[in-house]
Amino acid sequence: MVFYTDGVLIAPALASSALLVGKIWDAINDPLFGWLSDRTTSRFGKRRVYMIFGALPLAVTIMLLWFVPRGLPDVWVFVWIAVTFLLFDTAWTLTNVPYYALTAELTDDYDERASLTAFRMVLGVPAYIVGAALTPALVGLFESKRTGYGWIGVIYGLLAAAVLWIAAAGLRERKEISQSKAHTPPLQTLLATFRNKPFVRLIVAYLVANVGFALIKTLLAYFLTYQLGMEAQVPLVMFLLLLFVALFLFPWKKVSDRLNKGPTYAAGLALGGLAVAATFLLPPGPTPWVYVIAVVAGIGFSAQWVFPWAMVPDVVEYDRLGTGEHRGGMYYGVWGLATKLSDALGIAATGWVLQLFGYVPNVPQSTHTLFGIRLFFGLVPALFFVVALPLLIWYPITRASHAEMRRRLANGE
């Protein structure tokens, strides 16, 4: 959004609405590609084949995402954003849904899945920190923000392809899973995921919480720049937040060894929600309190990086107990759909809120505009987290119930 509004000077409502249109394709492509990977058998594996051959298209679509031709009328700007985002989303889904499905297939152990996810995130989050810090720094090297963001697209596109190939080269799929093929038709499989009660409970909690996260991620730069007058500190605040996300991935994993995954996830959301709610009380102007809030929020939100992804494999196993099929691709497809829809709703809501409260780019904002930014950066996301808490505190799949599922699967029940 900052690229579109401040780099290319596109009206926020226009940009956010175009992005939302691009997400409509998600209603088909996430579950569809997940179902296709469930049915795939090849000499490259069930999941790896998509990572290997989808990496280059992903690189190209990332480059297009950060480029908007000059001089287009609004209607063609809308079309350009929607189409390039649709192409990017297709390539992303084609490569990433199979990648995520491997979480359910590399190990069957309840706690090891949380550990596996924590290791993935403890390596991914520092790279995320580097990217968050490098992006504004790289853009600042160029005289024009538009040009700087264009080079961001080239660099990140090439990186995306490279890391997918590295991951595919290092993975080994389990033979009994990679050679299996799901036979249930796609629509029937899709509907079955919504009859899986633990999955429905988990995905509703995650979707609600992720809308809150999308608002926070999208409005962070606006809040720091216009409410606190700390635009230069955006990379530092982002660094602190993500640093403590990374530092507390394994401590949260240790907590879940005692409390189970659902209640631990809820505890993290509660702590992070309290931290972001406190930003609503910050007065205009620079303040060191924002660093304290970033640290506490990072500690709490660290749970969001581990537990949702570590809990999906358990519901895939719950499904296999009833069907006998390995349908992790479809479940991660629906999961990807929920992730992207909640992200899109958060981004679209940000554009609508900025437009509604009279946002004007690159100038001091009115009191009315600042109130809207504070409200939707702090209090509204915290309310979303509160809604998700009961669904997680009493989540039905525990360590004990999962052990019973594994026993029944081993006995062929």
Determine which of 9-13, 118-122, 154-158 has the lowest per-residue pLDDT on average. 9-13
- What pLDDT score does 27 carry? 65
- What pLDDT score does 325 carry? 82
Chain-centre distance of CA 4, in angstroms?
20
Contact 165, 52 (CB under 8 A): yes
Average pLDDT over residues 184-191: 84
- How far CA 347 is from CA of 114, 238, 340, in Å, comes to 29, 18, 10
Average pLDDT over residues 61-80: 85
- What pLDDT score does 44 carry? 87
Domain ranges of the chain: 2-410
Contact 343, 214 (CB under 8 A): yes
Average pLDDT over residues 291-301: 95
Rg (CA), the chain: 21
Chain-centre distance of CA 59, in angstroms?
19
The encoded tokens of residue 361 equal: 């780019």
Average pLDDT over residues 138-155: 86
Q: What is the pLDDT of residues 248-259, one digit of tens each?
A: 999 999 999 888
Best-predicted range by mean pLDDT among 19-28, 116-125, 150-159, 345-354? 150-159
Residue 41: is its pLDDT beyond 90? no
- What pLDDT score does 181 carry? 76
pLDDT band at 348 (very low <50, low <70, confident <90, very high): confident
Average pLDDT over residues 271-295: 94
Q: What is the pLDDT of residues 222-233, one digit of tens each?
A: 999 999 999 888
What is the percentage of the chain residues whose pLDDT exceeds 70? 99
395 by Cβ neighbours in 10 Å (0-12 / 13-18 / 19+) ranks as: buried
- Cα distance between residue 92 and residue 138, in whole Å: 24
Mean pLDDT estimate for the chain: 87
pLDDT band at 26 (very low <50, low <70, confident <90, very high): low
- What pLDDT score does 255 carry? 93
pLDDT band at 169 (very low <50, low <70, confident <90, very high): very high
- Give the residue carrying structure tokens 């040009």: 147
Which CATH code for domain 2-410?
1.20.1250.20
Residue 277: is its pLDDT beyond 90? yes
Average pLDDT over residues 163-169: 93
- Cα distance between residue 178 and residue 43, in whole Å: 9
- Cα distance between residue 63 and residue 399, in whole Å: 44
Residue type at 337 in one-letter notation: L
The residue ranking higher by pLDDT, 51 or 340, is 51
pLDDT band at 246 (very low <50, low <70, confident <90, very high): confident
Which helix H or strand E contains 370, and what residues bound it?
helix 367-374
- Cα distance between residue 49 and residue 37, in whole Å: 9
What is the percentage of the chain residues whose pLDDT exceeds 90? 35
Provide the 3-class DSSP secondary structure of residue 68: coil
Residue 158: is its pLDDT beyond 80? yes
Residue 205: is its pLDDT beyond 80? yes
Query: Cβ neighbours of residue 98 under 8 Å, at least 6 residues apart?
Result: 33, 34, 37, 46, 47, 48, 49, 50, 51, 329
Candidates 58, 158, 147; CA nearest to 98 is 58
Residue 6: is its pLDDT beyond 80? no
